[in-house]
Chain A
Amino acid sequence: MSLGKVEPVKNAISRRRLTQLAASMPLSYGLLAGMNSMGALSVSAQGNTVDSVALGVGSDPLTLVPNHIVDGPTGVITYHMFDAAIVRNKDDEFRYMPWLCELTNVDDLTWNLTLVQEGVTFSSGNPLTINDFVSAFNFAKDPANNSHYLERWAAFTGLEVVDDKTLKITTDSPYPLAWDRIAEVYPIDTAKIEEVGLDEYMKNPSGTGPYVMKEWVRNEYITLEAREDYWAQDVLIKEVQFRTMPEFATRLAALLAGELAIVKDVPVDSFQAVEDSGLATIKSIPSSRVNYVALVTNREDSVFYNNQALRQAINHAVDVDGIIAGIFQDHATRMAGCLSEINPERNTAITPYEYNPDRARELLAEAGFADGLEITMDAPQGRYPMDADAAMAIAASLGEVGVTVNVQYNEWGTHLDKIVNRQTGDMFYLGWGPALDAFGTIAYLFVGDSTYSGFGDAEIEAKITEASGTVDAEARQAIWDEIQQDIYDQAGWLFLWQQHDSYGVANNIVWEPRADEKLWMAEASGA
């Protein structure tokens, strides 16, 4: 494998000006990461050993080797076998912390990835070296591997092994997403690949993670076995089987029959059945994923374009708290602005729009719609918790003040198509996450020509560019606060809620859900 032909830098998410200024943002994160002591790695599970548990996943893994596929179930399985270079710390507002490596920002175009763990080995017995990170980069960037990530890695144009602990990574231009991308690097076993060949390695990989593959029956299940010599902690669940079960009703039934240990995304209306089973309980956690309704302003034909009063009217007209209490039975957390409570860069001064139908009618009149209006809202069905019911309730709330909303439910792929091609109605319902910093939400959803954006405002885009390029943490936070206030004042969205992830968890295991949606069995143990 080799880096091969280096592609020119592509504009990954930020728009033209954004990328020119953004590089210094990660510097503070770098310092922060550097300040983390290795004590942060003390995440070992405590409790009893369990021989085997089974989990249901929606589809088969698409590969057993990380770094080149974007897929939920594949990610869950591969991160049990492979360790990342750096990880998010759930005990520190999900900021990055060192794991196998420490990442430091040298300048706008240079990062140093330094191996900080001693004596780590792959499940093959080969020692982990800095070259294994180079192999991971090369593997992801090699077009022959048909990587879904190919474009995501194109920004990294240079890799240089400085010494046996340090890898220098360079880009041709500032790249604000470097931290997120490098966090996705999972070292692969160079020595084993050289010994058995890449094809064989893909079938029977070795990583440095807590589990190693025991058996994979395609389309049916994959069984992972705990490593007794895992470097970071004792692993108490000795065997984990991921069963491919595409239908949620079947996964839930399997939990109730005692076949599965954890089932994700249990809807509110099934909580009672789980609790009554005597075999499992519901564990919920406010997720970092947010749900919102975009009030489209990046299209001139939208009724919301250049009409702030109308957008504010929508926010005053919808009884968001009532929907959370009624439909979600309080298993959602209301958002005041565009960032969730979990997000450390949220502007805490912002309070939610008051539910006030009278004020909404006044604003409607001010906006030129005293006699009401008719709008189409596109919504997915079954993608987010209770999304279809919530969309209907929003439409009903708006109907009370004279806004007739025609809800257009879409199959998920069609929904994405319509948003990307700017063919939705003037409102569309969407979820976003894991959203663990301001940039990761605002730069994607409030820049006019971003893929899934429904919002456009030149002044706010300029501020986003400024925030992304500000090195000083306090100064940058001040700009993010200002942007969030602007978005709130402009009522860029109908601000909804931070969804709660609800899991059915068997009573015989101890496992706590995480806000970043990571299903990490190395943290689990027997009851």
Chain B
Amino acid sequence: MKRYVIGRIFSGILVIFLALTAVFFMLRLSGDPVLLFAPMDTSRQDLDSIRERMGFNDPVIVQYGRFMRDAVQGDFGDSSRERRPAMEVVVERLPATVLLGGTALVLAIAIGIPLGILSAVKHGSIWDKLARFISVLGQAVPSFWLGVILIMFFSVRLGWLPTSGRGGIDHLIMPAITLSAFSMARYARLTRSTFIDVLGQDYIRTARAKGLTQGIILRRHAFKNASVSLITMTALEVGNLIAGAVVVEQVFAWPGMGRVMVQSLLNRDFAVVTAAVVLFAAMYTACNIIADLAYGWVNPTVRLK
């Protein structure tokens, strides 16, 4: 077990290293960052002087070596726009993203799993059809569109909720719903298919023959067996929520990491983008390790080697 965890941590570090390397070279291919913060009346000579000062004139491989040397010491450089440590720019936004992503995940689980169970138990009924319609809708609607529609309806037309920004729970409602829609649909679909499979198993038939109630069968037998795939999906869903946050935070002016990632990409603020990628990759890797450990907790027959 201990060996397994250490192995996973090392493979996680390798993933982060590879992600960083890929992002570093892709960003350098994206173009000249200086043009995006230097005024348009800057002469070509002065542009070159700024590039020189910021190290962008060095060969890319030299820049990469310098970047990696600093990165292993936790220094991802300064934001070219904000002129302060890039990791500081990213980390100060982490709580907002965790709050939004966590709320969206809870919403997705709280709605998606019961919806999937209902659909499986009432297989073929109008409830099943309704639940499947909601699932398809959740996966088909782009979050940008959904976000704007929610704003126009609940903020502009009804005046019930603030359009954007962070504040009380009222500020969180629309971004969380928008971000959770896709995940909720995936949970519902996966739960439905898993439960339909589990409920057809012999041991469920035996349980029914013993006279156990539907509730006990679902809770004690079906849910426990279905939970391994749901845990796997939850770990993967963290990645989807991070990706979704990039759009949702932009639409709702939510001050999280997704927004800073978009703005930094558009501004070619290389240091901030790489710092954000490291943090995202670390979060994703950690969630996968936790998911692996959780398998053994919910199902003692699972042993990690």
Contacts and interface: CB of A to CB of B under 8 A. Distances in A.
B146 to A, nearest CB: 13
Interface size class of chain A, counting residues whose CB lies under 8 Å from the partner chain = 35 or more
B32 A13 contact: no
Interface stretch (B113-121, B247-255, B271-279, B283-291): B247-255
Contact of A151 (B42, B78, B81, B252): B42
Nearest to B31: A417
B77 interface: no
B155 interface: yes
B41 interface: yes
Contacts of A250: 148, 151, 163-164, 251-253
A414 B50 CA distance: 19
B42 A152 contact: yes
Given A146-B83, A253-B152, A417-B31, A247 B41 contact: no
Nearest to B256: A219
Interface string A229-257: 00000000000000111110110011011
Contact of A257 (B36, B156, B251): B156
Interface string A418-442: 0010000000000010000000100
Contacts of B159: 257-258
A405 B81 CA distance: 37
Contacts, number: 132
A253 B156 contact: yes
A243 B148 CA distance: 18
Given A253-B152, A256-B156, A259-B162, A245 B44 contact: no
B251 A151 contact: no
B147 to A, nearest CB: 8
Contacts of A477: none
B148 to A, nearest CB: 5
Interface in A57-92: 59, 62-63, 70-71
Nearest to A440: B41
B43 A420 contact: no
Contacts of A450: 43-44
Given A250-B163, A253-B156, A451-B44, A70 B35 contact: no
Contact of B41 (A148, A219, A444): A444
A452 interface: yes
Contacts of A247: 250-251, 253
A59 B151 contact: no
B47 interface: yes
B156 A150 contact: no
A244 B50 contact: no
B45 interface: yes
Interface string A341-357: 00000000000000000
Contacts of B221: none
B63 interface: no
Contacts of B251: 247, 249-250
Interface string A89-106: 000000000000000000
A404 interface: no
A246 B43 CA distance: 29
Contacts of B162: 257, 259
A220 interface: yes
Interface string A245-287: 1110110011011110000000000000000000000000000
A12 interface: yes
B168 interface: no
A63 to B, nearest CB: 8
Which of B43, B50, B267 gathers most chain A CB within 10 Å?
Answer: B43
Contacts of A452: 40
Given A150-B53, A219-B93, A243 B82 contact: no
A10 B163 contact: no
Interface in A498-519: none
B82 A62 contact: yes
A381 to B, nearest CB: 13
Interface string B253-276: 101000110110011100000000
Nearest to B158: A257
Contact of B148 (A12, A253, A440): A253
Contacts of B260: 219
- Which 9 A/B pairs are nearest by Cβ-Cβ distance? A219-B255, A151-B46, A245-B253, A417-B31, A146-B83, A416-B35, A254-B163, A257-B155, A253-B151
Given A219-B260, A250-B253, A420-B44, 6 more contacts: A148-B39, A253-B151, A253-B164, A256-B156, A257-B162, A411-B266
Interface of B: 30-32, 35-47, 49-50, 53, 78, 81-83, 92-93, 96, 148, 151-152, 155-156, 159, 162-166, 250-253, 255, 259-260, 262-263, 266-268
20 contacts: A10-B49, A12-B46, A13-B43, A62-B83, A71-B37, A151-B46, A152-B42, A152-B46, A219-B92, A219-B93, A219-B255, A245-B165, A250-B251, A253-B163, A253-B164, A413-B35, A416-B31, A420-B44, A432-B40, A452-B40
